[in-house]
Amino acid sequence: RHKFWETQPVGQFRDAADTSLPDGPIEPPTPLSEVRADPYPLPAAFEWLTCDLDDDALLADLYSLLAHNYVEDDENMFRFNYSPAFLRWALKPPSFFRAWHIGVRAKESKKLVAFISGVPARIRARDDVVRMAEINFLCVHKKLRSKRLAPVLIREVTRRVHQENIWQAAYTAGVVLPTPITTCRYWHRSLNPKKLIDVGFSRLGPRMTMSRTVRLYKLPDAPLTPGFRRMELRDVAAVTRLLRAYLAKFVVAPDFDEVDVEHWLLPQEDVVDSYLVESPETHEVTDFCSFYTLPSSVLNNANYATLKAAYSYYNVSTKTPLQQLMNDALIVAKQKNYDVFNALDVMENEPFLKELKFGPGDGQLHYYLYNYRIRNGIKPSELGLVLL
């Protein structure tokens, strides 16, 4: 059934019942001298291109490849539209490897036709902190689909990850592959219901009018929690402490240090936003919330070209109830003109999703680890990892 994936060190569907297989790495590392030295061969018309994302022209080419060929919803109404600034942020974290930004271009026209990327991360599974690659932005131009190019891209990124003496990876996909560690659902909270209905993202509920719907999703003009403010550079140490303590509760979660937090959570306009609660009395940072910005192109709509979406990222509550904190996140997202706020049912999200008028989406998001077995999988609420 899976000609490629059956050859890879991932949990195989046929092993699901085998209770003798231990959790942890599936294969041991091989000596670096045995890692294949040359890139995998591509069809003759194409060549590999290690991408320099500091090159604005190359970044524009990558943006355009993804804007036209990356992930769409099941009904092909929307397509992710990651911004150039977002791509730079997502692909250049601390100690990133340029060799893991892998393009394929046509030899003759030099046109970028496919891409795959990895970034380094430390991810903890139970009490094992593992150096991994987070693999993302696998994309093959629409005209080159179903030609088995994807397995070549995956093998090549795997080779380049192995060259750095890293043997595990984490990734998410909307498709079912062998074998998810967990399967999550996106929930959506309307901020601009009229536009969402106009573009076909949501529908008017039964016995609902537009004006009742607008009223239903109305939010206060400003955050309600005293001491709620945007995160700044001086907050990195406090946020890191909060986040590390919180993520320790989950079975699979990133192992963030201050350098990671500065990169992944310090606000960057229209890329990532983070807020915290600083106690007006003690000036202690007690709570934290964040979201990233990922618009979607609206395909075939006369009135609108894009939806502005916020995606819940990492949130920590120790004093402000999580639901109140997330309500404030919705309020600032509305202030900043987002149309919708999305969140997965990971970590402790499920209770607030229901209370804060999120509705369940249709697609599912499957989480995977490469060369690392977690035998019975985990529940979404045991997962503390959000990939972009």
Q: Active-site residue numbers?
A: 388
Residue 328: closest CA among 346, 310, 307, 348:
310
Which of 95-103, 104-112, 148-156, 237-245 is the region at the interface with ligand YNC (rule: CB under 6 A)?
A: 148-156
Residue 29: left (phi > 0), alpha (psi -120 to 50), or beta?
A: beta
Q: Which of residues 192-251 bind ligand YNC (CB under 6 A)?
A: none
Determine if 57 is a binding residue for ligand YNC (CB under 6 A): no
246-285 footprint of Mg ion as x/- string (CB under 5 A): ----------------------------------------
154-193 footprint of ligand YNC as x/- string (CB under 6 A): x--xx--x----xxxx-x-x-x-x----------------
How far is 276 from 180, CA to CA, in rounded Å?
33
Is the CB of residue 332 less than 8 Å from the CB of residue 273? yes
How far apart are CB 4 and Mg ion at their closest, in Å? Answer: 11
Determine if 138 is a binding residue for ligand YNC (CB under 6 A): yes
HSE at residue 306, side-chain half, CA atoms within 13 A, is 14
E strand segments, the chain = 46-50, 78-80, 101-106, 112-125, 128-140, 168-173, 182-190, 228-230, 252-254, 272-278, 285-293, 296-298, 306-307, 309-312, 316-317, 340-344, 359-370
How far apart are CB 13 and ligand YNC at their closest, in Å? Answer: 11
Determine if 149 is a binding residue for Mg ion (CB under 5 A): yes
Q: Which two tokens stand for residue 166?
A: 């890293």
Among 62, 104, 113, 133, binds ligand YNC (CB under 6 A): 133
The angle at the Cα of 215, spanning 210 to 220, to the nearest 5 degrees, equals 145
SS3 124: strand
Q: Is the dihedral of CA 117, 169, 86, 197 positive or negative?
A: positive
Which of 22-30, 139-147, 166-174, 245-253 is the region at the interface with Mg ion (rule: CB under 5 A)?
A: 139-147
Among 51, 123, 149, 385, binds ligand YNC (CB under 6 A): 149
- Residue 381 CA: distances (Å) to CA of 23, 37, 288: 19, 41, 19
Which of 55-63, 144-152, 218-226, 255-263 is the region at the interface with Mg ion (rule: CB under 5 A)?
A: 144-152
Determine if 81 is a binding residue for ligand YNC (CB under 6 A): no
The footprint of Mg ion on this chain (CB under 5 A) covers a number of residues equal to: 3
List residues binding ligand YNC (CB under 6 A). Answer: 2-5, 69-71, 133, 135-140, 145-151, 154, 157-158, 161, 166-169, 171, 173, 175, 177, 370
Residues binding Mg ion (CB under 5 A):
140, 147, 149
